[in-house]
Amino acid sequence: MAPAPGLPQVLRSADSEQLRFREKISPMSGFLVCIRSTYVMELSEQDILRVLMRSRDRVAAAAWLVVRDTQAAEDVFQNVAIKAMTKEVCFESDGAVLSWAFITARREAVDWLRRHRRESVAPRAQILDLLEGEWMAAGLREDHRAAALRECLDELTGKSRDLLRQRYFNGLSCADVAERVGAKLDAVYKRLSRLHQMLKDCVENRLDETEAAEA
Amino acid sequence: MNLNSHNGELHERLLKYLDDALVPHEKTLVEELLVEDADAREILRELALQAVVIGDSERATAQTQAELRRVENYRGVDDQEVPPRWPRSRVILPWALAATSICVCLALVRHEVLPGQVARDPSILANADDLRLAEIRFAANADLVASPSSGKASEKSFDEDARLSRGFYRLKSGFVELEFFGGVVLAVESPAELELISQREARLLSGRVTVEASDDDTTFVLHTPVGEVLDIGTRYGVYVADDGATETHVFEGQVDIHPTATRESVRRVNAASAVRVTKSGVVAPVPSSESAFPQPSRQIRNLLLHSGFEPATELHVADVVEVGSWWGDVCRIVRVDQSVRPFAGEGMLLFQSTGKNPEKAAPTAASQLSQWIDLTPYKAAIADGRGRAVVSCRFNRVVGNELTDSQFSIHLESFDVTPQEAKQRMKSQPDAPRSRVSYQLLSDSNPQSWERAEAVLKLPTDARYLLVTILAFENVSNDVGATTEFDGHFADDLQFHLVIDPAPGTGR
C-alpha cells in the first residue's frame, strides 16, 4: 500500500497490528486502563469521541463492505464506539484512533457475519486495506460529504428514493428489487448506477459551493 | 473486457460486485482492478458511503413515522405521511457519549474501584441510550415489549433478531434468549420484567432467568430487588418472586451475592447449590434445581478433532472405532497441490482412492474419511430433543477435463450404541432404519473457489455417538483398475457444532 500522505509514520504500514494502541489490565483494580506514556500525550475521551463521530459514516461504510447490511454496519460502528469509550485502548493521535476504528470495525463485522452464519462476500483483505487507507487519508472535505449527501437525498423523487430504499434499507438484492418493481435486472443496475452518479455530482457541487462560500 | 473503458459501465460492474452477482472470473477482474486503480476504489468508497447514509436516513424516517403513527393513533388521528427528519441517533449519540465520558471521569475520581466488581463493567456507558446492548437471538411464542416504565408513550414490541437498547422490558408471554454484546446470554421466561443497563449489566425486577457467560473473562452483574449477583465465569439461574425474594441457583462455576438489606459480607454460592434472599436480608439455602430455569442455547465446538487437516494429521486406512481419529479410504494431507492452496492453515485433505490400496483403483465409487464423535456428555439435552449436529466443509478440485469427477458429500449418522456396536450393527443389519443425513455438492471447475457444503442432523433423543463422513464421488467416471481415481479433489476447514436449542424451564 502506498504511504498515506500526512499520516504519522506509524500509520503507514498496511500491517494494522503494528499500530501503537495498547491495553493492559491493572493488577490493582481489574479495571481496564491505559499504560501512561511518559513522552507522548494521549488523547482525551472528548478527543476520541470527536474523531469517531467525524468519521462515523466512513467507518460504517467500511463495515458495510463486509456485512452488506446497513443496520449491521451501524451496529458495528456503535460497538467500535463502545470499545473506544470503555478505555480498553489509548491513543496518541487522531490517526491512531481512526486506524484502530477501521481495524476494530472490520473485526466486528467479521464477527457479525459469523454470528449470523452468513457467507462472507467482502472484498479481499488487500482491497479493504487500500480503501481504509484512503478513507483515513481523506481530508476535511470528506468529513462533510455525508452531510451533503443527506441533503441531496432529500431532493430525489419518490420513485428514485424508493429504489434506493429497497436496495439499501430493506437489503434486497438487485434481482429481488427487479422482481418487485417488475423491471429487468439490467435496467435496475442502470437506474441505480445513474442515481449513484447523480448523488455524487450533487454532493461534489454542494461541497464546492460550501468551500467557495467559506473562501 | 476493459472495465476502464466507460465510467458508467464500471459503476454498474461495481454494483454487481457489491450485489455478489458476478461470476467468479468477472469478480476476479473487478478485484484486480480495485487493487490497481485508485479511481475504481474511489467509486467503490462512494457507493459504500451512499449505502450507509441511505440506510441511516431511511431508518430515521421509518422511526419518525412509526413514532408519529403511535401518537396519532393514540389521539385518534389518521396516519399521515411525514417528512424525513435528521436521524435521532445522530443527534443523541454524540451528546450521550460526551455525557458518558464525563461520567467516567467523575466515577473514577469519586469512587474507589473494587477488585472484580461493577467498576470493571462498562455500565458507565449507561447514558448512551442510543447504543444497543443486546440482541434477541431466539424467541418462542414471545411477546416482549419495551415497558411503559421506560418513559415511552406506548409499548413497543420486539421480534427475533431485534436489538435492544437501555431500558425496561416486559416479557408478557413465551421465552426469549438475549445475547448481550458484552458476551453473556440471558434466557428469559415469561412472565418477567427486566431492565437492560449496559452490555454487562441488567436488573431483574420479576420473573425467572438463566445467565450464561461465554468465557471466564466475562463479568456480568445482575441486580435484583435484594442485591446484586456477580458471576465468576459461570451459568446460573435467578428467580425474583412477587414479594421481591430472590433465589439464585448456580449450575456451573460460582457467583457472589451482595445483599443490600444487611451488612452481611459477600455470599459466595458454588455449583449445584442455591440460596434464597428475602427483602429483609435473610439468606437461607434452598434445593438447587436447574430444570426449573430456562435453558439457553449452547454451541459446543471442538468435538471434531484435527478438522483443519493440518500437516502431521494422522489418517488411518482402516476401520477405526476410537473417538477422535480420522479413518477410511486412502487420503493424504497436502500443502499445495496442482496450484490448489489450502482454504485455511497450511494443509488440506487430498482424496486419493475409493479403497484401501493407493496403487490400484477400487470398484467402489467414493473415497471417504470418517470420525466418531462422543455425544454422551450431552445426552440429557439430546434426550429432550434439543440437539442438532451441524457440519460444514469446504471442497475444491482441479480444472481437469470432461472426465473429471465433481461430486462431494457430507454424511452424518447418529447411533444409540457405541462405535464398536454400531459397526457390527451396520454389517448385520445394513437396511435397518437409521438417523442420517447427506448433503451433496457438485463442484465447479475453478480451483480458486472453495465451495462450502453444510449438513444438519436433528439428533434423535437416544443419540449417543455421531459418525461424520466426508466423501468425494466418482460421479463422472468410475476408474476401476486404474492407478489414479481422482485428478485432484480436496477438502478443508471442516467444522462441527453441536447445537443445543434453548428451552423454557419447569419452574412455574
Which of A64, A111, A186, A206 to mutate to probe the B interface, most B CBs <10 Å? A64
- Residue B119's closest CA among B230, B274, B249, B285? B230
Q: Is 70 exceeded by the pLDDT of residue B173?
A: yes
The pLDDT of residue A44 is: 77
The pLDDT of residue A119 is: 79
CB atoms within 10 A of CB B77: 11
Mean pLDDT across B6-10: 76
Mean pLDDT across B309-327: 90
Min distance B48 CA to chain A CA atoms (Å): 5
Are the Cβ atoms of B125 and A49 closer than 8 angstroms?
no
Are the folds of B131-294 and B299-500 the same?
A: yes
Percent of chain B with pLDDT over 70: 79
Which residues in chain A are contacts of B50 at CB distance < 8 A? 149, 168, 196, 199-200
- More confident position, B508 or A177: A177
The pLDDT of residue A206 is: 92
Are the Cβ atoms of B84 and A64 closer than 8 angstroms?
no
Which residues in chain B are contacts of A192 at CB distance < 8 A? 15
Are the Cβ atoms of B59 and A197 closer than 8 angstroms?
no
Report the residue from A61, A134, A169 with minimal CB separation from B59: A169
The pLDDT of residue B230 is: 79
Which residues in chain B are contacts of A190 at CB distance < 8 A? 8, 12
Which residues in chain B are contacts of A146 at CB distance < 8 A? 49, 53
- Residue B104's closest CA among B91, B129, B130, B122? B122
Convert the pLDDT of each residue in A82-131 to its tens digit: 777 765 567 878 888 888 899 989 988 988 887 777 778 899 999 999 99
Are the Cβ atoms of B94 and A75 closer than 8 angstroms?
no
Nearest residue of chain B to residue A47 (CA atoms):
B98
Nearest residue of chain A to residue B24 (CA atoms):
A121
Convert the pLDDT of each residue in B432-472 to its tens digit: 777 889 898 898 888 888 888 999 999 999 999 999 999 99
Q: Is 60 exceeded by the pLDDT of residue B83?
A: no
- More confident position, B299 or B127: B299
Lowest model confidence (mean pLDDT) among A38-52, A149-163, B13-27, B119-133 = B119-133
Which residues in chain B are contacts of A127 at CB distance < 8 A? 31, 34-35, 41
The pLDDT of residue A40 is: 44
* Cell 451488612, located at residue: B263
Which residues in chain A are contacts of B47 at CB distance < 8 A? 196
Which of B97, B127, B136 to mutate to probe the A interface, most A CBs <10 Å? B97
Q: Is 50 exceeded by the pLDDT of residue B165?
A: yes
The pLDDT of residue A202 is: 94
Question: Cβ of A201 under 8 Å from any chain B Cβ?
Answer: no
Mean pLDDT across B409-420: 93
Question: Cβ of A27 under 8 Å from any chain B Cβ?
Answer: no
Mean pLDDT across A64-70: 93
Give me the phi and psi of B482, to 5 degrees please: -75, 165
Q: Which helix (H) or strand (E) holds B47?
A: helix B38-75
Q: Is 70 exceeded by the pLDDT of residue B398?
A: yes
Are the Cβ atoms of A81 and B31 closer than 8 angstroms?
no
Domain ranges of chain B: 7-65, 131-294, 299-500
The pLDDT of residue B131 is: 63
Report the residue from B20, B45, B114 with minimal CB separation from A131: B45
The pLDDT of residue A18 is: 29
Report the residue from A85, A173, A194 with minimal CB separation from B100: A85
Roughly what angle, to the nearest 10 degrees, separates helices B38-75 and A70-85?
Answer: 90
Percent of chain B with pLDDT over 90: 37
Convert the pLDDT of each residue in B182-214 to its tens digit: 778 999 999 999 999 887 789 999 999 999 886
Lowest model confidence (mean pLDDT) among B166-170, B261-265, B495-499 = B261-265
Contact B249, B293 (CB under 8 A): yes
The confidence band for B215, taking pLDDT boundaries of 50, 70 and 90, is low
Reading the block at residue B454, the C-alpha cell is: 453444510
Contact B248, B257 (CB under 8 A): yes
Domain ranges of chain A: 9-138, 144-214
Contact A172, A69 (CB under 8 A): no
Contact B172, B145 (CB under 8 A): yes
The confidence band for B481, taking pLDDT boundaries of 50, 70 and 90, is low
Report the alpha-carbon distance of residue B371 to residue B497 in Å, rounded.
14
Are the Cβ atoms of B48 and A169 closer than 8 angstroms?
no
Mean pLDDT across chain B? 80
Q: Is 70 exceeded by the pLDDT of residue B264?
A: no
- More confident position, B481 or B56: B56
Contact A35, A90 (CB under 8 A): yes
The pLDDT of residue B358 is: 67
Give me the phi and psi of B63, to 5 degrees please: -65, -45
- Helix then strand count (H, E) for chain B reads 6, 24
Min distance B150 CA to chain A CA atoms (Å): 21
Structure ipTM? 0.83
The pLDDT of residue B506 is: 80
Q: What's the angle, vertex CA B491, arms to CA B398 and CA A121, rounded to 5?
A: 85
Report the residue from A75, A145, A193 with minimal CB separation from B11: A193
Are the Cβ atoms of B15 and A134 closer than 8 angstroms?
no
Report the residue from A65, A150, A194 with minimal CB separation from B53: A150
Mean pLDDT across B314-322: 89
Min distance A153 CA to chain B CA atoms (Å): 8
Mean pLDDT across chain A? 76
The CATH architecture assigned to B299-500 reads Sandwich (2.60)
Domain B131-294 has CATH 1.20.910.10: no
Mean pLDDT across B54-60: 84
Report the alpha-carbon distance of residue A87 to residue B38 in Å, rounded.
35
Mean pLDDT across B252-262: 82
The pLDDT of residue B149 is: 53
Q: Which CATH class is domain A144-214?
A: mainly alpha
Which residues in chain B are contacts of A173 at CB distance < 8 A? 19-21
The pLDDT of residue B204 is: 95
Convert the pLDDT of each residue in A147-157 to its tens digit: 899 999 988 98
Q: Which helix (H) or strand (E) holds A191?
A: helix A185-214
Which of B46, B56, B59, B178 to mutate to probe the A interface, most A CBs <10 Å? B56
Report the alpha-carbon distance of residue B71 to residue B77 in Å, rounded.
9
Interfacial A residues in 80-139 facing B (CB < 8 Å): 81-82, 85-87, 119, 121, 123-124, 126-127, 130-131, 134-135
Contact A49, A77 (CB under 8 A): no
Report the residue from B42, B57, B104 with minimal CB separation from A150: B57
Which residues in chain B are contacts of A175 at CB distance < 8 A? 19, 21
Mean pLDDT across B133-139: 87
- Residue B212's closest CA among B189, B241, B238? B238
The pLDDT of residue B217 is: 56
* Cell 503494528, located at residue: A18
Report the alpha-carbon distance of residue B398 to residue B492 in Å, rounded.
14
Lowest model confidence (mean pLDDT) among B10-24, B71-85, B141-155 = B71-85
Q: Is 70 exceeded by the pLDDT of residue B248?
A: yes
Min distance A11 CA to chain B CA atoms (Å): 19
Are the Cβ atoms of A64 and B51 closer than 8 angstroms?
yes
Reading the block at residue A112, the C-alpha cell is: 457479525
Q: Is 60 exceeded by the pLDDT of residue B99?
A: no
In sequence order, what are the residues at sequence separation of 6 or more whose Cβ sits closer than 8 angstroms to the Cβ of residue B21?
A173, A174, A175
- Residue B239's closest CA among B285, B199, B288, B204? B204
The confidence band for B263, taking pLDDT boundaries of 50, 70 and 90, is low
